[in-house]
Chain A
């Protein structure tokens, strides 16, 4: 686990500032070496770094499911990079402005060679404070990138009024209440806020999101993107929960962009933690419940056309 190479996925609509952020990451004196996977050479002038061109080749897996996709080029490139293990500390994947982050993330769950050697650290989305609202209207990709993000860099804040900035952040929150949002100019942000986030580590979910188990998010749902969180005030029955979550992600997979949960099972000293992308789920028991801590259970989903009532009732029905 510890010697897996961390991979940061950088998304953002065209012109939002991905390249600016990338250049910042690469030029700051952090003493680390990165391998960078980009779609366009030339845009970035990087010296002494390992830069690889990608072609965003997306493959459907043969299980008959349209949402189970992987990036073939990424598998190939990571396989090649692993032959030069030791030459770099981390990998950054820059995706094009039109790319769907899901096949990238799923590659780390669905390809065993990749998951054996590399771990997805976080999806970082750069958003343009001035133009994001427009993009959310006309570009479904832009909305997916926001919905998918673990970290959102709300950039070019100097080009909008404080009111406009609050409005655009509220829009982001209505799509994805769980991402960490940073307001920046020229993507000026401490690198530690972007890299090594461990957002896809099951045992970091709680640590990263201290209010994850708290109610009280105000969910201003976006027109077609929903975030649903459901809490059971106590333990759930694994005999009911496991079939439920598995069936839900199988059936609703194409509509679920991301999901996460922390669940308490009776007589289980550890938390059951899971997260998923479309119908791919990764879950395990880990991290003891602390003495005196309230053992309750919570799941969150971000997606489209989700039946909120059915999800709510389905999870509540798993309660012990």
Chain B
């Protein structure tokens, strides 16, 4: 089935005029927060919007949410935090260095990268700094415990900020961009400059996993709620790797869902069902059920309106999305 003939949910979308490139978005309980290339954060709830100047006269390069608040990093060298109530304040500041990597943990800790320097601040406000060998590109906290994965050139570093021990190096040649932990913390996976993913099995054997064959870079990674599947962007379909065995996906073929003549730019797994939201560079969004690969059309292709951000709310009833041209919207599942 193609997007043209898929049953449609387009009537269930409330459009949101974000007004600028949507860099990232997150849900703050029932409020969708759109972080924008012009420095603003647009809060949307029940058809009402409220704009917050999180980075005045600057741009948001990266943003993450823990379900309560939205952290944004800007080209003004600041980390700002925005709440659903419209409050915003500065959490951290560098001397003008761009902040283009951020991570947030469920415990309230956060970390940000500026060049090679990674700063982690725990829930008690204790701050630790680690300088890695080359620019820190991706940051991700382990699902449990205060441990940070940092992607960079020639591998990744695993760091316990509050432990004196030397950080652990995961080596693999090439430039590593984004990083993610599997929900059971057994795997760390990075996206690479070279149109591939690289993974490390932390348990039991520290083995490598190389997932290649993408026609372009993979910049969006999402785990199914149970950690059995890792869905990825970068091809003209969502590429979904099986992670249920302890070896990971090695020797197994990935699933390809939502084949269309446009590249997948964002993927977002439903928080408690085997349903994947797939956003494309041509602006189209499909919902795909893994069980039978059936497709629902959320948004038809819109010229110049490629999908740049997507996120489900905690209950999985709403999907928010944002686009490069400042269009955005919220889908409510029927």
Contact = CB atoms under 8 A, between A and B. Distances in A.
B21 interface: yes
Nearest to A73: B135
Given A62-B174, A83-B37, A111-B193, 7 more contacts: A53-B97, A55-B115, A57-B153, A76-B100, A80-B75, A80-B100, A82-B21
Contact of B61 (A75, A80, A113): A80
A290 interface: no
Nearest to B75: A80
Interface in B209-244: 216-217
Interface residues of A, number: 22
A53 B96 contact: yes
B329 interface: no
B194 interface: yes
Contacts of A41: 96
Nearest to A59: B175
Contacts of A113: 216-217
A61 interface: yes
A52 B96 CA distance: 9
Contacts, number: 58
A309 interface: no
A72 interface: yes
A77 B96 CA distance: 13
Interface in A118-168: none
A83 B217 CA distance: 18
A66 B60 CA distance: 35
Contact of B98 (A59, A75, A80, A82): A80
B295 interface: no
A70 B193 contact: yes
Interface of B: 21, 23, 37-38, 59-61, 75, 96-98, 100, 115, 134-135, 137, 153, 173-175, 192-194, 216-217
A83 B23 contact: yes
B194 A76 contact: no
A62 B115 contact: no
A84 B59 CA distance: 7
Q: Is the interface of B mostly helix, strand, loop or mixed?
A: loop
Minimum-distance CB pairs A-B, first 6? A83-B37, A62-B174, A84-B59, A83-B21, A59-B175, A80-B61
A7 to B, nearest CB: 18
A77 B61 CA distance: 10
A57 to B, nearest CB: 6
B75 A52 contact: yes
A41 to B, nearest CB: 7
Interface in A49-105: 52-53, 55, 57, 59, 61-62, 70, 72-73, 75-77, 80, 82-85
B40 to A, nearest CB: 12
B35 to A, nearest CB: 10
Given A57-B153, A61-B193, A61-B194, A52 B59 contact: no
Contacts of B193: 59, 61, 70, 72, 75, 111
B113 to A, nearest CB: 11
Contacts of B96: 41, 53
Contacts of A84: 21, 37-38, 59, 75
Contacts of B98: 52-53, 77, 80
B95 to A, nearest CB: 9
Interface string A38-53: 0001000000000011
B160 to A, nearest CB: 26
Nearest to A61: B194
A112 interface: yes
Nearest to B97: A53
17 contacts: A41-B96, A52-B98, A55-B115, A59-B174, A62-B173, A72-B153, A72-B175, A77-B98, A80-B98, A80-B100, A83-B37, A84-B38, A85-B21, A85-B37, A112-B216, A112-B217, A113-B216
Contacts of B194: 61-62
Interface string A153-186: 0000000000000000000000000000000000
A49 to B, nearest CB: 12
A82 B38 CA distance: 11
A113 B217 CA distance: 8
Given A62-B173, A76-B100, A83 B153 contact: no
A72 B153 CA distance: 9
Nearest to B196: A62
B136 to A, nearest CB: 11
B173 to A, nearest CB: 6
Contacts of A52: 75, 98
